């Protein structure tokens, strides 16, 4: 798929993308992405446009009919020989099906490209195949050929070139119907059915052309007698009479591998047909124990627990048999769900330690998807209904109009208490999580109110109100400045006393010690907090990466969350930590630990941008920090 088509398809399905995210997907520089987007925008003409809004590209469609025509033309053109990836797939197919050596000149003629272009494509193809122990051997004049085991040749094709090798292969209606019937009976979802069909196509193409699979590594014997093996046996028994073949047991194991590494069945009945491995529950417990140990988050796999156990079973099979998933589906998940991705990275460590298998980045992305579901369930389980007092000085109608606007923003189930400025209910105001008033309605109350107050006129900035209201549920446990605090939760939890510009060269441990000293001087923590951090640090480093540290622990007897931040000035290529955040949380049972999730989210987003965190390391005051974060918002949309 060429650059422009890839970007278009991504924007259609992901709805938005950052220039850096697209650059990482396509392995290009940001400037190349900017140029590709400009070309795509020109191709779309007046039917649609790709615009950069708030740092993310978005697709706007003005003329749906004309856009559909242009889109189809782009997709058709992408199938042409102008796409290097498509040409490499065609070269691999030609070499895979060749009876002998193939001359480079003949390949160039088939592809309608120059010999130089064909040579460049071959160099890129060699690099791709190296990861599968497949090589291209031979001489330029006498011809080249593929070298590798039959299994490696098939796996390289299925991993990188399945669309060209398999999707247009003439299987015939009877075979397709047989496959569909057996897959349906085993409750395979659409994605898994497509995978099975591709693997079967590869098997038939290679077997019928005289390339049977005669040898397999010893670990494939683990598949014998499993539900995946039973499925493969039934499938090949149904297919064999239609093509008049009698495939050996090795081909059954090959097809069993396709099912053992498939995506998890969607329904409970399908998962019962393919049970999770017996040792997976212990792995799940170990994963969540490690997440609690490293991150301090006590999240459980309550929702999708059964599916997660099955996912781990299928995932470990994919790793064991070197089945690779498409990276595009999870390319943006690190940026979109940074806390869940951090949990997935910890999960990878546990799985690799306990199984000895290498977990790929694409599998980490899938794990992050599950962890985001677990986080969302955890946050919903801790969430309580908001109590909002609406105070007006201009009559009941204005108060109800204000409530109507708030209802469009606040969560369903929010409870409202309406009152006029002349008849204030002190008990209701004290019990409210939030007080919203019209201008001047609370004049004369002084500083008696303990609940956060937002004063709104008839017209107000909805986005800024959302930023402020997103912190209301945290106000009970942290001192937050709701009025004019900008979009940064971190800044709203800090003040001039708890921000420190540390000397150049300060390391992580000295920075942490200095911040604890400051919190002790302010009377916010005691020696027990320092010792708690030491114990946690001994068990697992709280450096998120080489740039940012986030040591945090409980503060015995504390009622509220405390946070301190220190920055150490560095140059962009200079090694060493740039920022350290020290956080203490209450040790009581009813503490809302979703504040820790929100803080993690913002810190990880900061740490993911080396240039941004390096610039941040040079601020020298809380005031500079405020304006820096206002100019570089990093918080997720809440």
Per residue, what are the HEC states of 135-198?
A: EEEEECCCEEEEECCHHHHHHHHHHHCHHHHHCCCCCCHHHHHHHHHHHHHCCCCHHHHHHHHH
Say whether both 134 and 222 belong to one domain: no
Task: Quote the number of domains for the chain.
Answer: 6
Q: What is the pLDDT of residue 637?
A: 47
User: Tokens 């977990």 correspond to what residue?
Assistant: 359
Single pTM value for the model:
0.76
Q: Which of 222-231, 524-533, 556-565, 587-596 has the lowest mean pLDDT?
A: 587-596
353-381 pLDDT per residue, tens: 999 999 999 999 999 999 999 998 888 77
482-495 pLDDT per residue, tens: 444 456 889 888 99
CATH of the domain at 123: 1.10.10.10
Structure tokens at 263: 């995506």
Residue 139 maps to a domain:
yes
Say whether both 627 and 497 belong to one domain: yes
604-622 pLDDT per residue, tens: 999 999 999 999 999 999 9
Single out the residue in 460, 479, 503 at which a domain terminates: 460
Say whether both 72 and 93 belong to one domain: no
Residues above pLDDT 90, as percent of the chain: 54
User: Tokens 């109100």 correspond to what residue?
Assistant: 465
Q: What is the mean pLDDT of residues 271-278?
A: 89
Q: What is the pLDDT of residue 374?
A: 92
CATH of the domain at 559: 3.40.930.10
Check whether 267 has a pLDDT greater than 90.
no
Nearest to 22 by CA among 335, 326, 325, 345: 335
Q: What is the pLDDT of residue 453?
A: 82
Cα torsion through 70, 75, 77, 83, rounded to 10: 140
Structure tokens at 282: 């212990």
408-428 pLDDT per residue, tens: 877 777 889 998 888 888 888
Q: What is the pLDDT of residue 303?
A: 67
Phi, psi angles (nearest 5°) of residue 25 = -60, -45
Phi, psi angles (nearest 5°) of residue 224 = -65, 130
Which residues contact residue 210 at a Cβ distance below 8 angstroms, ignoring those fewer than 6 apart? none
Single out the residue in 44, 78, 112 at which a domain terminates: 78
Cα torsion through 149, 151, 157, 162, rounded to 10: 160
How many CA atoms within 13 Å lie on the side-chain side of 386? 24
Residue 541 maps to a domain:
yes
Say whether both 34 and 117 belong to one domain: no
Residue 155 maps to a domain:
no
Check whether 115 has a pLDDT greater than 70.
yes
CATH of the domain at 296: 1.10.1790.10
Residue 251 maps to a domain:
yes
146-203 pLDDT per residue, tens: 999 999 999 999 999 999 999 988 888 899 999 999 999 999 999 899 999 999 999 9
Q: What is the DSSP letter of 502?
A: P
Q: What is the pLDDT of residue 89?
A: 93
Residue 520 maps to a domain:
yes
Nearest to 460 by CA among 443, 436, 433: 436
pLDDT band at 79 (very low <50, low <70, confident <90, very high): low
Say whether both 494 and 618 belong to one domain: yes
Residue 34 maps to a domain:
yes
307-334 pLDDT per residue, tens: 899 999 999 999 999 888 766 666 678 8
Residue 411 maps to a domain:
yes
Check whether 2 has a pLDDT greater than 60.
yes
Q: Which residue has the higher pLDDT, 513 or 471?
A: 513
Q: What is the mean pLDDT of residues 578-585?
A: 95
Cα torsion through 394, 396, 398, 402, rounded to 10: 130
Say whether both 370 and 426 belong to one domain: no
CATH of the domain at 454: 3.40.50
The alpha carbon of residue 98 and the mean position of all alpha carbons in its chain are separated, in whole angstroms, by: 41
Q: What is the pLDDT of residue 358?
A: 94
Please write down the HEC assignment for all residues of 338-388.
HHHHHHHHHHHHHHHHHHCCCCCHHHHHHHHHHHHHHHHHHHHHHCCCCEE
Say whether both 89 and 66 belong to one domain: no
Query: Structural domain of residue 409, as residue ranges?
Result: 387-460
Single out the residue in 232, 248, 273 at which a domain terminates: 273
143-155 pLDDT per residue, tens: 999 999 999 999 9
Say whether both 54 and 112 belong to one domain: no
Residue 157 maps to a domain:
no
């Amino acid at each position: 798929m060429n650059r422009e088509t890839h970007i278009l398809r991504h924007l259609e399905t992901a709805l938005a993308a950052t220039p850096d995210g697209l650059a990482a997907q396509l392995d290009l520089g940001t400037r190349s992405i900017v140029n590709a987007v400009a070309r795509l925008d020109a191709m779309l003409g007046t039917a649609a446009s790709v615009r950069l809004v708030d740092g993310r590209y978005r697709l706007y469609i003005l003329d749906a009919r004309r856009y559909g025509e242009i889109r189809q033309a782009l997709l058709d053109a992408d199938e042409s020989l102008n796409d290097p990836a498509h040409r490499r797939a065609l070269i691999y197919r030609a070499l895979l099906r060749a009876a002998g050596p193939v001359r480079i000149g003949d390949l160039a003629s088939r592809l309608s490209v120059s010999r130089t272009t064909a040579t460049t494509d071959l160099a890129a193809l060699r690099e791709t195949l190296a990861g599968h122990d497949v090589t291209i051997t031979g001489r330029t004049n006498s011809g080249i050929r593929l070298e590798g085991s039959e299994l490696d040749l098939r796996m390289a094709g299925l991993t990188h070139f399945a669309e060209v090798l398999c999707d247009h292969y003439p299987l015939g209606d009877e075979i397709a119907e047989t496959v569909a019937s057996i897959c349906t009976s085993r409750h395979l979802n659409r994605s898994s059915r497509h995978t099975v069909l591709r693997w079967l196509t590869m098997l038939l193409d290679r077997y019928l052309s005289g390339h049977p699979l005669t040898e397999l590594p010893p670990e494939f014997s683990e598949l014998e007698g499993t539900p995946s093996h039973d499925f493969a046996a039934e499938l090949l028994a149904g297919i064999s009479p239609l093509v008049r073949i009698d495939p050996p047991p090795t081909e059954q194991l090959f097809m069993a591998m396709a099912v053992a590494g498939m995506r998890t069945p969607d329904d409970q009945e399908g998962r019962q047909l393919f049970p999770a491995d017996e040792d997976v529950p212990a792995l799940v417990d170990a994963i969540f124990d490690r997440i609690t140990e490293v991150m301090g988050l006590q999240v459980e796999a309550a929702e999708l627990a059964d599916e997660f156990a099955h996912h781990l079973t299928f995932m470990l099979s994919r790793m064991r048999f070197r089945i690779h998933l498409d990276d595009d589906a999870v390319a943006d998940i690190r940026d979109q769900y940074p806390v869940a991705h951090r949990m997935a990275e910890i999960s990878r460590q546990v799985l690799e330690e306990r199984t000895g298998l290498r977990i790929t980045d694409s599998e980490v992305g899938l794990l992050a998807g599950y962890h985001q579901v677990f986080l969302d369930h955890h946050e919903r389980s801790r969430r309580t209904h908001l109590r909002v007092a609406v105070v007006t000085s201009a009559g009941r109608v204005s108060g109800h109009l204000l409530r109507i606007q708030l209802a469009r923003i606040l969560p369903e189930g929010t409870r409202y208490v309406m009152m006029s400025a002349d008849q204030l209910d002190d008990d209701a105001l004290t019990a409210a999580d939030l007080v919203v008033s019209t201008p001047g309605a609370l004049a004369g109350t002084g500083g008696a109110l303990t609940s956060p107050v937002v004063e709104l006129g008839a017209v107000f900035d909805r986005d800024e109100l959302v930023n402020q209201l997103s912190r209301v549920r945290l106000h009970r446990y942290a001192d937050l400045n709701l009025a004019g605090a900008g979009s940064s939760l971190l800044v709203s939890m800090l003040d001039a006393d708890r921000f420190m510009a540390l000397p150049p060269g300060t390391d992580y441990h000295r920075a942490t010690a200095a911040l604890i000293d400051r919190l002790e001087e302010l009377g916010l923590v005691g020696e027990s907090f320092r010792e708690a951090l030491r114990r946690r640090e001994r068990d697992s480093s709280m450096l998120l990466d080489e740039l940012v540290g986030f040591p945090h622990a409980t503060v015995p007897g504390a009622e509220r969350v405390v946070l301190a931040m220190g920055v150490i000035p560095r140059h962009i290529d200079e090694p060493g930590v740039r920022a350290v955040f020290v956080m203490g949380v209450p040790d009581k049972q009813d503490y809302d630990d979703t504040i820790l999730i929100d803080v993690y989210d913002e810190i990880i987003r900061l740490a993911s941008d080396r240039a941004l965190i390096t610039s941040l390391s040079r601020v020298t005051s809380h005031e500079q920090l405020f304006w820096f974060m206002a100019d570089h918002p990093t918080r997720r949309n809440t």
